[in-house]
Structures are given as structure tokens and as C-alpha cells.
Chain A
Amino acid sequence: MMGAASPRLARTSLMVAIIIAAGIGLYSWSLDRLYLVHDEVIYALNAHAIATTGRDLSGQFLPISFPVVGTFFATPMNIYFTALFLQWAPPTEVIVRLPSVVVGVACVGLVFLIGRRVFKTDALALLAAAILALTPAHFIHSRLGTDHLYTVVLMLAWLLCLLEVTNDRQLWRIGVASALLGLGVYSYLGALITMPVCFVITLVTLHRMGFRSRQPYLAAALGFVLPILPFLAWHLLHPDQYARQIQMYGLYDSGRLGPAAGAKQLASYASVVNRVSVYWDYFNPSLLFFAGDTGLINGTRYAGVFLWPLMVLLPAGLYRLAVQQRSRAAWLLVTCMAASPLAATLVAERYRINRALVMLPLAALVATAGAEMLFTARRPVWRAVAIALIALMPLQFAGFYRDYFVAYPARSYSWFEYNIRGGMEEVIARHGGVASPIFIANNIQWADYYWPFYLAKQGRQDLHARTTYLDLAVPGASESVPPGGILLCRAADVEAMKAAGLRELRAIIEPDGSQSFAVMRR
């Protein structure tokens, strides 16, 4: 038995290694092609602060929750993971996005392992992994230094553990599966919905497996609750955070309503009707296969969330799993897929795939089931259809990939806060010593976060003390810029600054040739 297992283990390890290598190669190329969006910068600054001082930007020592802007609190997992990378390298676009690449590739690897468990063949498992790797939305989010993908990897790890449970004596395996869900509350805010739902699915799965003793359920509950305890303790010590998070997502007016009244409002007829509509729209073919996310950060509008072949493979897979098969794995995949938009539904945000990323790997597995159904059909024409659909995927992905690096930057730069990077790095390069105070127009949104980031990137944190944020709308504000002083301003303010006696050193240009900022000097 050990002899039979070793070659299989070796083969599996080799396949996983190949998948990881291919994934890293595909996903990590030119990570700095797109500008950083402000979320990435804020997370990176916090990660850098943790890596260098052990404290976040507000001074908290190894916090569980990171206050970022206004009423928004960030979950810690991606920040601490990024901090690990920043232990060894300075903060750059590549370094702050590399953790997401690792997480994204890990998801692909986990899908391969789950696929082997579900489909019992390496070929179909590889297909599932390939489908996820070539999923446009997964590619996009594996290259953003944000936290959305962390729930996905934990959910996949949970799924794999749960599928490995074969009897009610494997309490450790049940506990680990649930613990992964408990850890999920630290991954992304949406996990506060997703993970409890997955926990309920765990309990139902155990029941469907015929487990009647209490131990498996206790193991599951303990596994789920233990990791959450620090999270609960934190919220007890910071009681206003809950209300501010509610306010942030507009669930109800937490200033006026308590939790019970707020829950009642959420359960009102109008609220339920609206959320049912939002939930339904997350399965809209227009979103999934054509238009993608409404924003140009989470989508390119060149492709949908998934590639076109999944228009056929996904329904075929749902039919295969929900109707033809009645296995535990089939039930789990379909149920989890149905539950995947619940977090997005609660906040009633339509067509925001970043809030439902757990759908992606589940869809890859379901689509593989669809391919399996076509491959095993009696008529050869269906096998030909399956081959054609699979062959179409890399072709369409190639088009998406090319657009992502060539035309997409020009379409999306305004969503990524414009070429602040170019402006700030130019200011740093042009800085001429103590006699060159630095001024940054305060109408450049998020400049107070980007500037420390680019100073850290260039190792010029010393310039922060010489920086002033200037309100150019105030009459005479430009007079504050002394001779030799450098100003970074918006392109719209250039003429006024020229009239005030400053000289434009460099126009900061976007991919489409338009100017967004200017570096000026008196």
C-alpha cells in the first residue's frame, strides 16, 4: 500500500508543482503594469508598518482589525501576509501584489486537489485547475494587492478537508476543516457571511453522511469557534467598530437603529425583495460571460467573469451534479455555488464580483463536471463539442491577456487613481536637497497615502518631513511655494500655477496620452 501510494504522491506533487510554476509565471508577469489603487496602497502601508515596527499606522500593536479610512476597518490576513514579504523587500507594486499571486495560484492548486477527489482522474482535475487559472476575474484579482481572494483559498481548503472526511472518527479532520472557516473571519469582511454559511453546510454534510453521534458536530463547532474567539474579544473591546462597519456598507442607519431594529429593517419586505433581485443578478449571464464587473478595477469589460465556453459547461455541470449525480461532492459543489453570492447580497451591491469571488473556483469545478458529462456522452458529437469548448478557452484567454496588458491600462487608469506614481517618483527624482521643499496639492485624492508609499519604495522617507499638502483653491496658496520648491498638482491647475510664476518641469502622462498631473517648480 505504501508502495502504491508513493508513486501517486510523487505524481501529485509533481503536478501541483507544475501548476504552481505555470501559475506564478502567468500571473506574476508585469505586476506593476497597472497603477496601485488606493486600497492596495493603504494595505501596503499598514503591512510595511507591521513589518518594520509591529504596529499599524494608528499605532496599534499587532491588531486584529486595521482602521483605514473613515468608518472602514480592514481584515488582517492579507496585511500580515504582505508584511511577511515586506520583511525581505521594500514596498513596490510587485512586492505588494505578489502575495495575491501566491494566494491565487494556491487556489488553482487546491482546485486541482479537489478535482482529483471529485472526478477521480488527473485529467479532469487538471482541467478544473486550468479553467480557474484562465478565468479572467480570478486572473485580475490574483494581481491586486487586496483581500478579496483570501476567503477563497480558505474556503477551498475547507472543501478539500471536508471531502476527505470518510467516517465520524476523523474528528481532527472535521475540526481542521471548521477551523479554516473560523480563520476565514480574518480574511475579508464578506467572510463574516460566507464562513458561517459554510459552517452550516458542514453540519448538514455531516448529517447527510449519517453521522449520528455528537462528537463530529462538537469537533466542527469547536474548530469553528476557537479561531473566532480573538475576533469576538476584539469587538468586545472595540464596541463601536460594529456600528461603523454597518454604516460603511449602508446596511442600515446604525446611528439610529440598534442591531435588533437594524436586523428587522433588513428583513423587511422591500429589503428582501431588493436582495433577492441582487442575488439573482449574480447569476446573470451578462455579468458572468460578457460584461463582467461594472467597475474597471475588478473587470476589464473585454471579457466576462468567466470565459465563453462556460456558458455551456456551467449549466451542463449543474445538471450533471444536481440532477444526475447525488454524491456528497456534487451536493457540496452545487450548494456552495448557490451560496456564493450571499455576502454580496447582504450589502445589496449588484454586479460586484469581488464580493463573490468564492464563486470562481466552484464554477471551475462545476464546469469540469459539465465537460465530464459531454466527454462521457454516447454520441461522439458531444465529445467534439467538449473538445472545441476546451480548445476555445486558451484562445479567448489569450485575447483577454493581450487586452489586459495593452488596451486595458488606457481604459482603466482613472479607476486606478491616475498616474500618481509617475508624478510622485518624478518629484522624488527632482528633489534637490534641503532647499527644495515639496508641496503636493491636496486635491489629489489619496495623495497622503500614496506619498508615504512611494517614499518608502524609493527609500526616501526623510522627504516626508519636508512635504506640505497645499490647498490650491485658497487664494494666494501658490505663494507658499518658495523658489526651488517643487509642487505636484493636477493638470487642471497647471495654467493657474504658471500664472503664479511656477514652471512646469514634467507633464505626467497617462497611457492614452492625456495629462493628469504636473511637476512644477518655482
Chain B
Amino acid sequence: MHRGNLSRMLAVSAAAIVVFVVYSWRLHDSPVYLTADEIVIGLEAHSLANTGHDLRGRWLPLYFQIDEFRMKGTTWYQPMIMYGMAAVLKFAALTEWAIRLPAVIAGVLDTILIFFVARAIYGRASIAFAASLLLFLTPAHFIFSRFAMDYIFPLPFLLAWLLALAHYHRRRDPRLVFVATLCLGLGFYSYIAAILLMSIYFVATLWLLWRSAAPGRHYRLAVAGFGLPLLAFAGWLASHQNVVTETIARYDLANPGRLGPVGRVDLYWDFLSPSYLFFNGGSEQMFTARTTGVFLVPMLVLVAFGIYRALRSRSPLDHILILGFLSAPGAAILLDEPFAINRAIEVLPFGVLLAAGALHHGLTATVESPRSWRGWLFAGLVATALIIGVVQWRGFLLDYYGDYRVRSAPLFQGNIEPAIQEILGREPPDRLATVYVAKGLELWWQFYAIKHHRADLLARVVFIEPPDIDRVPAGAFILVSVQSPLGEATAGALSKAGATTVRSVYDIDGARSFAVMQR
């Protein structure tokens, strides 16, 4: 192997390891607890890994039906995260760390892929490295690379598409356009928003072919690449004709009280707001620490200049970057959720690539006129941006592992594990007694029972509501949540029936969240 390629491969590998270490550190407790989505995805993936069936007994389903949240209608989850997580759980036990690992891997893949994408577009390894670094340091990218949810899963496919497209643009090899749209077709299954966004990127691919005066065969290959993976979806849709209405009901899309067209324009504009992108990161505190924006502050100048540079460029790739950046909120504005970065995360790679373009422009100008004031200005700006970025990143990390865990705790479902462990400790496998758990905690019970290798308790559990109190025998342990109305009602009924609290469990912010009671 050529020495240059070898050293580059080693550098990329080293970078991947660094990213992996940083992104996976304290994965088990940051985010502070598991969300309901993470629990249910973990259980589905665990079932898939062990039996090849989902929790409903369907063998290798294309989409996963989730009704456990009692929301309007049925929720259909995308398969990518399920199968990715199942692959991990084939070798690892069901733990917080294991179920969040696929997102970390996706994050690592993103930082590696964007290196190659930037190198293909801008032709400089230094700019490619800068792109990787910028994505690595992007707070939103870090946060979503640590959730066992599918928000971040479209990004590797999006970047793979861009990589193939960039190479196609240079070499006009039709196999590359097939690969590019194949990535889009596969990405279709990554996250629900990808259904719209991958389609937009497919249209952008066709537009690039048109701009390049590509022959008809290239168009056919593009369509084939995108269409082949979608055949499975078409077949599945034909046998699940209610899925459209169920999804509309799940997201309340048919509600006449929802935002009108002008309101959606407002919503879209908010997604491009600099204060949201570069300063406070949105309103959903589960997905933003609010001490930084979606991007770090120096990106404000880089992205703005990157957009200006891309507008002035004649390259269709640059125009696709702008299109990608501007279309990222496209799926999010269908829902009435302002500043929901989790639904518009595709903005991250496009923002970083535009910023890399700005750096490339500055570097090119510096190289062409090394002693001019522009060169010094560029160097000074880059150094300043780097210092500000590193300082801000450090502050973000310290907050993320510190105060943010406390601030965000109420948004998660609470510190249930110690409560479950209390019961597990009091109910050894040989005791064969029935355990009682308040309704609403089924998924958590299942998850932590499996995690602590107490699958025996899965058959010995009864889920109860207040009317069921009389069924609880004397001496039995009951797990209740005291932070939900149903749980509080159950705890109250138990207290009236003479049960006592043997252990109270508190969240990290000091709020009492669960109780283990004994009748």
C-alpha cells in the first residue's frame, strides 16, 4: 500500500477511535436515564437478536408496531435502528450502554464519512479533517450520538450518498450514481423524516444529472438505485393499508386546529434562526443543553460565509449543499414542534460541509497570496474560531456531564433501576413469589429484569392499578411510580390498604420518583 494512503488510513482509524472514546464515555448514565423510546427499542431489538421475532411475534418485520405508549393510533418504528441494535445485542447483554452503542457507531461513521465527502468536494485533506473536527464538535451531533433512538441514523446514509455523488460528479461513472441513490433508498428506512428528505435528495440527484447533461442510462440507474430498496416498502404498504391513517393519527396531522400555511412558514423560519442554530439549540431540553446552539458559535460566521461562497459557485454540488441545509426542516414543519432539532438533524452535515467550504475558500486565498492581509486575516479568524470553539465545547461537555443531567432529569422517565433492583434483591429466583408492579411500568420492568438476568421475574409479575389492590397478598412487594397520576393513585390505594414503603427512590434532582412498597 502506498505510504501516503497507509498514513491516511492510520490517521482516520486513530480519529475514529478518539471519536468513539469521547462519544461513548459514560454512555450508561448520560443521558441520565433511559427514555420510553429507548426502552421499547431496546426490548424490540433484544427480542429480534434472540429470536428473530419482534415483541409481537412477527418474524424479521420491516417495520415495528408499537402500541405501548397509548398514544393516538399505532406507532410504526423504522427498522434500521432495530436491526442495528439487534446486531449489537447479539454479542452484548441488554444494558444502557449496549443499546446506545449503535448511535455512537453512527456518530463515528458520520465523522469518518464526512472526512471523505469533504475531501471529494474540496480536494484537500486539511479541509476534510476540519470538516470531521467540526462535526465531531457539533453539540447536537454529540447529543444524538448518545441516544438509543433513530434520529441520527439518516446521517450516515446521507453522507454516503454525498460521497458517491461527489465522486460521480468528478468521474461520471454511472455505477456511482446507482450507489448514491441506493444509499438514499436504504436511508429511507432510517428515520420517519427520511421518507421525505431522502426523496428530496433523490430529486436533487436527478437535478445534478440534468445539470451534468448525463445520458438517459444514468437516470435509469439512479431510479433503480433509489427504487430497489423501496420495493420492500411498497410490498409492506400493500399488506398494511392502515399504516398511513395510523401514522396520521399518531402525529395528529388531520387535526383542524393545527397550524395553517402561514404558521408553517413561521415554523420553518424558526428552524433557520441563528439564535437556535448557534446560541441556544431549541426548546426540547432532552435534546439540547441550551448552553450552546445546535452548532458552536464560530460556525455562525463559517456557515454564513459558506452559503455565500456556495451561491457564487458554479458547482451543482455546492448548490446541493445549500438545498440540503435549507430543506432539513422540511419534515419537521409538518408537525407543530418549533425548534425540534431531533426532527431536522440533517442540517448538521450540510452545515458542516458549507462551513468547510468557507474554510476552503479562505485557505485557497491564503495559499494564492501568502503574504497578503487576507492571509493573515484568515489565519487570525481561524485561530480565533478554534479557540472560541474549543472553549465553548469544553464548557458544553462540563455542563453535559454535570448540571445538564440534573436539569434534564424531569424529562426522562425517572430513576427506576434502583427501585427494580430493590425488588430483585428481595425476590431471589428460588422464592417463586409474584411481584406486583404498577401499570405503566411494564416496559421498564421488562428491560431491567432482563438487564439483571432475572428473566424468571418476567413470568412472575402482575401489573396492577388501584382497583386491583385487593389482589395483592400480604408480604408482596409492589413497585410504584410516584411521579405519575396513576402511580400516585396506586400508591395511595396501597397505603390505605396497609402497605408500607420499604424504599423510596429519588431522581438526580432530588425529586422522589419511585417507591417499593410491601403489603
* B269 pairs with A281, CB closer than 8 A: yes
Name the B residues within 8 Å of A269 (CB-CB).
Answer: 279
Q: Does B266 contact A (CB under 8 A)?
A: yes
Name the B residues within 8 Å of A390 (CB-CB).
Answer: none
Name the B residues within 8 Å of A319 (CB-CB).
Answer: 311
Question: What residue of chain B has the Cβ atom nearest to residue A269's Cβ?
Answer: B279
Residues of A248-298 contacting chain B, CB below 8 A = 269, 272-274, 276-277, 280-281, 283-286, 290-291
Name the A residues within 8 Å of B272 (CB-CB).
Answer: 280
* A273 pairs with B275, CB closer than 8 A: yes
Given known contacts A276-B274, A280-B274, A323-B311, A286 and B265 CB-to-CB distance under 8 angstroms: yes
Name the A residues within 8 Å of B280 (CB-CB).
Answer: 273
Give CA–CA (A286, B308) in the complex, Å: 24
Q: Does B273 contact A (CB under 8 A)?
A: yes
* A274 pairs with B311, CB closer than 8 A: no
Q: Interface size for chain B: under 10, 10 to 19, 20 to 34, or 35 or more residues?
A: 10 to 19
Name the A residues within 8 Å of B262 (CB-CB).
Answer: 286, 290-291
- How far in angstroms is the closest Cβ of chain A from B169? 21
Q: Does B312 contact A (CB under 8 A)?
A: yes
Q: List 30 A-B contacts (CB under 8 A).
A: A269-B279, A272-B279, A273-B275, A273-B280, A274-B275, A276-B273, A276-B274, A276-B279, A277-B273, A277-B275, A277-B276, A280-B269, A280-B272, A280-B273, A280-B275, A281-B269, A281-B273, A283-B269, A284-B265, A284-B266, A286-B262, A286-B263, A286-B265, A286-B266, A286-B269, A290-B262, A290-B265, A291-B262, A322-B308, A323-B311
Name the A residues within 8 Å of B275 (CB-CB).
Answer: 273-274, 276-277, 280
How many of chain A's residues have a CB under 8 angstroms from any CB in B? 17
Name the prevailing secondary structure of the A interface residues: helix
Q: Which 4 A-B pairs have the closest CB atoms?
A: A277-B275, A276-B275, A273-B279, A286-B265
Question: What residue of chain B has the Cβ atom nearest to residue A275's Cβ?
Answer: B275
- How far in angstroms is the closest Cβ of chain A from B333? 12
Residues of B404-447 contacting chain A, CB below 8 A = none
Which of B273, B275, B280, B312 gathers the greatest number of chain A CB atoms within 10 Å? Answer: B275
- How far in angstroms is the closest Cβ of chain B from A241? 32
Name the B residues within 8 Å of A276 (CB-CB).
Answer: 273-275, 279
* A323 pairs with B266, CB closer than 8 A: no
* B269 pairs with A285, CB closer than 8 A: yes
Chain A residues close to B by CB (< 8 Å): 269, 272-274, 276-277, 280-281, 283-286, 290-291, 319, 322-323
Give CA–CA (A280, B277) in the complex, Å: 12
* B279 pairs with A284, CB closer than 8 A: no
Give CA–CA (A319, B262) in the complex, Å: 24
Name the A residues within 8 Å of B273 (CB-CB).
Answer: 276-277, 280-281
What sequence of 0s and 1s flags, for each residue 256-288 of chain B, a beta carbon within 8 Å of any chain A beta carbon?
000000110110010011111001100000000
Give CA–CA (A341, B269) in the complex, Å: 16
Name the A residues within 8 Å of B263 (CB-CB).
Answer: 286
Give CA–CA (A449, B262) in the complex, Å: 39
Residues of B292-309 contacting chain A, CB below 8 A = 308
Give CA–CA (A285, B271) in the complex, Å: 13
Give CA–CA (A463, B148) in the complex, Å: 79
Give CA–CA (A323, B279) in the complex, Å: 27
* A284 pairs with B269, CB closer than 8 A: yes
Name the A residues within 8 Å of B265 (CB-CB).
Answer: 284-286, 290
Give CA–CA (A133, B63) in the complex, Å: 57
- How far in angstroms is the closest Cβ of chain B from A319? 7
Give CA–CA (A286, B279) in the complex, Å: 23
Give CA–CA (A277, B272) in the complex, Å: 10
Beyond A269-B279, A323-B311, 14 additional pairs, beta carbon < 8 A: A273-B275, A273-B279, A276-B275, A277-B273, A277-B275, A277-B276, A280-B272, A280-B273, A281-B273, A284-B265, A284-B269, A286-B263, A322-B311, A323-B308
Give CA–CA (A281, B273) in the complex, Å: 8
- How far in angstroms is the closest Cβ of chain B from A227? 35
Question: What residue of chain A has the Cβ atom nearest to residue B269's Cβ?
Answer: A284
- How far in angstroms is the closest Cβ of chain A from B315? 14
Name the B residues within 8 Å of A290 (CB-CB).
Answer: 262, 265
Question: What residue of chain A has the Cβ atom nearest to residue B260's Cβ?
Answer: A290
Give CA–CA (A44, B513) in the complex, Å: 65
Question: What residue of chain B has the Cβ atom nearest to residue A272's Cβ?
Answer: B279
Give CA–CA (A274, B275) in the complex, Å: 7
